[in-house]
Amino acid sequence: ELARSILQYRVDRLPASAIKAQSYDPPYDGAMFAWESASTGLETCPPEAPTGMLEQHISADITIAVRQYFYTTSDVLWLKKDGFRLVSKVADFFVSKVVPDKAVSGQYHINTVIPPDEYASHGVNDSI
């Protein structure tokens, strides 16, 4: 029950995560969850902390939590009802964010993001 309620919190905040994804220039598709969120799911990280805009591993972490929940519970009904939508929206975000490698055909990168090492304030490529 507890794990499911934590994931439900994220499902309920998909609209706010879409607003965050759209707030970038260029805007991204899908769901990018806030680094620091209010109960609404909207980003509350202060603008003077520029790393907040680069903290994008949270969305990927949430998809891992969906996988772990399913592996542990085999809750196919939840996966079909909410889990797939959650993972799909995060995938849409990353698909819209990747850029092709100019030197290697078929290779793509996710540039300028903060890995779990929050001291990498300049952003690190491919660190999701």
Instruction: Report the catalytic residues.
Output: 118
- For Cα atoms 33, 80, 30, give the angle at the middle one, nearest 5 degrees: 30
Kindly tell me the burial class for residue 43, based on how many C-beta atoms sit within 10 Å of its own C-beta (0-12, 13-18, 19 or more): buried
Which tokens in the block code for residue 14?
């998909």
Which tokens in the block code for residue 6?
């934590």
CA 122 to chain centre: 19
Amino acid at 45: C
Which tokens in the block code for residue 67?
């996988």
